[in-house]
Amino acid sequence: MIPRTTIAAHRPGFTLIELMLAIGIMGLVFAMLASSFSAVAHGKIHGEARMEVDREGRAILWQLSSELASAVQTPITPSDVTLIGVAHQGSSGPIDTVSFATLNPGHRHSLTGIGPEDLVTYSLVRNPDAHGMYMLERTQQSALAAASASMGAAAPAAVILADNVLSLHIKYFDSQRWIETWDSPSLPANHQLPVAIAIELQMAAPNGHVMDFDTEISVPMAMLGGMPLPYSQW
């Protein structure tokens, strides 16, 4: 009866070649694993960041267009119709600002969604931390408070909606042609709003990608309104 230990002692060991081969193959396997692992991880981070920008851009466009669609114009009662669009040029395209009175501001103070008009402003300022990018700022305040300067109301605080905007281009359709700026106070009553508004927003996504968000909205008050007769003749 040979003891077990003797068998173990007689077992031949690995040669140097075998060991090197094994380590080499293992290294290869791990390297492949690591590279595919990092590719997946990188793809995930990149994809998520792009999706975040996509979500951000769509949310901004949605809010801006629903607010513009409810711009104030009341043919019966005199009201402060305001829609002032100014064109500016940025480092990589237009950086327009728009200021308007709307009945449907994104952040309503009351729950039922009904109240007097609010004055909303969208403007772009240079992002100090990122070259070539702009911060999209939005302010909102009661149009009544804005109209009465005697109240000495403090300027409303700006909310930064995004800090990676490359350009914002807003065009206005006056029922005949598209124009770059809009100035409602200089227009005749009941024709102070554009019939349609086009918005083009460009935002920077990681890895130098540029994402475009475009929309075109109609303004019901301008489309269907514009009463041909003053109220006294009805």
Partner 1 sequence: MVKRLKKNERGIALLAVMVGIALMTIIVVDFATSTQFGFMSAANQVNELRSYYLARSGVSVGLALIAAKDRDAVLNPTPGQAMIDTLGDRWAAPYSPADIDGGKASVVVVDEARKLNINGLLNSDRTVNQLALARMQLLFTILNLSPDLVSAIVQWTGPSGLSSSGMFNVGLVPPRNGPMPTIGDLKMVPGITDAIFNRLRPFLTVVPLGDNRININTAPPEIIASLDPSLAEDTKLVEAIVQERTIRPFQQASDFTVGLDPAVAARIMKLGFNMQSQFFTIRGMGSFAGTRKIIDATFARVGPTGTYGLVSWQED
Applying CB under 8 A, which residues contact partner 1? 8, 26, 29-30, 33, 36-37, 40-41, 43-44, 47-48, 51, 54-55, 58, 62, 66, 69-70, 72, 74-79, 103-104, 110-117, 142, 144-145, 148, 151, 153, 220-221, 224-229, 231-232, 234
Q: How far apart are CB 80 and partner 1 at their closest, in Å? A: 9
H-run or E-run covering 114: none
Q: How far apart are CB 143 and partner 1 at their closest, in Å? A: 9
Which is nearer to partner 1, 127 or 184 (by Cβ)? 184
CA 145 to chain CA mean position, Å: 28
Which tokens go with 126?
């240079």
* Distance in angstroms (rounded) separating the CA atoms of residues 72 and 81: 6
- At a CB cut-off of 8 Å and minimum separation 6, what does 226 contact? 75, 190, 191
Q: How far apart are CB 234 and partner 1 at their closest, in Å? A: 6
Which is nearer to partner 1, 68 or 95 (by Cβ)? 68
Q: CB 122: neighbour CB atoms within 10 A?
A: 24
> Which segments of the chain does DSSP mark as H helices, in order?
4-10, 16-69, 143-147, 220-224
* Distance in angstroms (rounded) separating the CA atoms of residues 160 and 51: 19
- At a CB cut-off of 8 Å and minimum separation 6, what does 202 contact? 92, 93, 165, 166, 167, 168, 210, 211, 212, 213
Q: Please answer whether residues 140 and 156 qualify as being in contact, where contact means their C-beta atoms are separated by less than 8 angstroms.
A: yes
Which is nearer to partner 1, 176 or 232 (by Cβ)? 232
Q: How far apart are CB 217 and partner 1 at their closest, in Å? A: 11
Which is nearer to partner 1, 88 or 209 (by Cβ)? 209
Which is nearer to partner 1, 47 or 185 (by Cβ)? 47
Q: How far apart are CB 95 and partner 1 at their closest, in Å? A: 25
Q: How far apart are CB 113 and partner 1 at their closest, in Å? A: 4
* Distance in angstroms (rounded) separating the CA atoms of residues 76 and 170: 29
Which is nearer to partner 1, 1 or 7 (by Cβ)? 7
